[in-house]
Amino acid sequence: MKITTIILAAGKGTRMRSELPKILHQIADRPLLQHVYDMSRQLNNNSIKIVYGHGADLVRETLKDFDAGWIEQKQQLGTGHAVQQVSGQIADTDTVLILYGDVPLLKLDTVKKLIANVDDGTLALLTVNLDNPAGYGRIVRDSAGQVTRIVEEKDAAEDEKLIREGNTGILAVHGGKLKKWLNRLTNNNAQGEYYLTDVIEMAVADGISIVTSQPESVDEVLGVNNRIQLSHLERVYQQEQACQLMEQGVTLIDPARFDLRGSIENLGIDIICDVNVIIEGKNSIGSNVKIGANTHIKNSIIGDNVEILANCVIENAVIGRGSRVGPYARLRPETVLAEDVHIGNFVEIKKSTVAAFSKINHLSYIGDSTVGSKVNVGAGTITCNYDGVNKFETIIEDGAFIGSDTQLVAPVTIGKNATIGAGSTITRDSPENQLTLSRVKQISIAGWQRPVKQEK
């Protein structure tokens, strides 16, 4: 069976009050439309068509990697009109699935169950029972319980408005039939729009039975019309991910204060995340890892038994097994820490590798550097890697000891087991095993007096 999925995404989203087209607003760092696209990509033998309109250029540019057909709907004359734009690309034997680009949390299982209800004599419709169905089309059933039509709220009679079963807008049916009904749509209704929902009545008249199914949770079919709804669905999505992680062996001290905006591809067990941890992009986290409060991790690989203390920012970094980072450390892109490395407070590392058992514990900047193993970098050490135009490399070999408040002016190499005296400005290579220091000799001036304030 071949599926054609049509994602309706042309609408303006006025109530978002935004320059950005609604479907480009994000949940967990992914545009709304991308959530729908990613889910439908998981259907086999599926070709995806996206009806777009509002914010056309930006939508196409932002989502240019989609493997989908893009059909522009220049004027938004209704959901039926939107689907009509794709008519020419639907084969009679296709199962056509209609989805909305602003309904991001629909589950694959729900869609599969819906599609399973499609055959030559049926139309499959996803409905939902709502406490407050305001704004939704209502599902009208006859005395035998069979669906006869959908009435839009604005066209509904008072008794029809009492119906709690709402139309999700999501349906599936064979292409040949749909195309025939689409041809007959009119805009003779309260909103002057071509309603896709009118095909239900036409189907019934043709002897087709409407088979309904429901999502497991209402949240799956909620659309985003304003930023309050956007934030609600963000929370729903985060809560779901948090539950999955906990089921996989992660302790979240407070699942309501944890955000995953991306994925953790390799996930160990007995990971403990304190509150306000944000994990972004593609990551890998080993077992027995502790992540302190308010830490932001992006596109990073974290080995087993790593401890990250509170308030760290870690991006495109690798942290080796058993290392300890923070509190208040910043690991910038291309930082690679081997095992058992200690990075302490107010330390920034950029594009540098640090070999096993080395320590950079306080107030330092290490950039464009290669640091050997068992190196001790004292407080306030700075690699001066930039002359305003070019970046230069610093090499610190195994076992070196860098005294506090040292500037290493790159390019420079500190030899194996070298010691650098505190307060030095090192501009030339420092030989191994020796003490190197550059310091003005200390003097004391006898009989010197502090200036005294003159009384007026």
Give the Cα separation of 206 and 3 in Å (integer).
23
Q: CB nearer to ligand UD1: give 80 or 262.
A: 80
Shortest distance (Å) from residue 275 CB to ligand UD1? 35
Smallest distance from Ca ion to CB 127, Å: 15
Please indicate whether residue 54 is annotated as part of the active site: no
DSSP 373: T
Stretch that binds ligand UD1, among 74-82, 104-112, 230-238, 356-364 (CB under 6 A): 74-82
Of 100 and 237, the one with the shorter C-beta distance to Ca ion is 100
Q: Is 367 in the site for ligand UD1 (CB under 6 A)?
A: no
Select 90 or 196, whichever has its Cβ closest to ligand UD1: 196
Instruction: Determine contact, residues 52/72, Cβ cutoff 8 Å.
Output: yes
101 binding partner (options Ca ion, ligand UD1, none; Cβ < 5 to 8 Å by kind): ligand UD1
Residue 342 neighbours by CB under 8 Å, 6+ apart: 323, 324, 325, 358, 359, 360, 361
Tell me the backbone φ, ψ of residue 89, rounded to 5 degrees: -110, 10
Q: What does each C-alpha distance from 421 to 157, 297, 416, 451 come to in angstroms?
A: 88, 35, 15, 33
Judged by CB under 6 A, the residue of 16, 27, 150, 245 near ligand UD1 is: 150
Q: Does 51 bind ligand UD1 (CB under 6 A)?
A: yes
Kindly determine how many residues on this chain lie close enough to bind ligand UD1 according to the rule CB under 6 A: 27
Q: How far is the CB of 93 from ligand UD1 (least distance, A)?
A: 25
Shortest separation between residue 163's beta carbon and ligand UD1, angstroms = 11
8 is a contact residue toward ligand UD1 (CB under 6 A): yes
Q: Which does 322 bind (CB under 5 to 8 A by kind): Ca ion, ligand UD1, none?
A: none
- Determine the residue with CB nearest ligand UD1: 137
Interface positions, 203-232, toward ligand UD1 (CB under 6 A): 223
E strand or H helix at 65, and its extent?
Answer: none
> What's at 43, amino acid-wise?
L
8 binds, among ligand UD1, Ca ion, none (CB under 5 to 8 A by kind): ligand UD1
What is the rounded distance in angstroms from the CA atom of residue 246 to the CA atom of residue 311?
22
User: Does 364 engage in binding with ligand UD1 (CB under 6 A)?
Assistant: no
State the Cα angle at 316 between 310 and 319, rounded to 5°: 60
Give the separation between CA 133 and CA 148, rounded to whole angstroms.
18
Position among 101, 215, 344, 399 found at the interface with ligand UD1 (CB under 6 A) = 101
- Residue 79 φ then ψ, to 5°: -65, -35
Nearest approach, Cβ of 135 to Ca ion (angstroms)? 7
Q: Closer CB to ligand UD1, residue 151 or residue 418?
A: 151
Distance CA 392, CA 411 (A): 5
CB of 103 to ligand UD1, least distance (A): 7
Which region among 7-15, 118-126, 295-303, 351-359 touches ligand UD1 (by CB under 6 A)? 7-15
Alpha-carbon span 45 to 174, nearest angstrom: 15
Stretch 337-356: interaction string toward ligand UD1, x if CB under 6 A: --------------------
User: How many Å apart are CA 219 and CA 237, to the nearest integer?
Assistant: 9
DSSP helix/strand/coil, 226: coil
Nearer to ligand UD1, 168 or 305 (CB): 168
Closest to 89 measured CA to CA, from 101, 71, 115, 77: 71
Residues with Cβ within 8 Å of 166's Cβ and at least 6 positions away in sequence, in order, are 127, 128, 129, 130, 133, 136, 137, 138, 139
Residue 81 interacting with ligand UD1 (CB under 6 A): yes
Pairwise CA distance, residues 240 & 331, whole Å: 29
Is position 77 an interface residue for ligand UD1 (rule: CB under 6 A)? yes
CB atoms within 10 A of CB 98: 25
Question: Is the Cβ–Cβ distance between 99 and 48 less than 8 Å?
Answer: no
Site residues (vs Ca ion, CB under 5 A): 223
User: Is there binding between residue 258 and ligand UD1 (CB under 6 A)?
Assistant: no
**Residues tagged active-site:** 362
- Residues that bind ligand UD1 in the complex, under the rule CB under 6 A: 8-11, 51, 73, 76-79, 81-82, 100-102, 136-137, 150, 152, 166-169, 195-197, 223
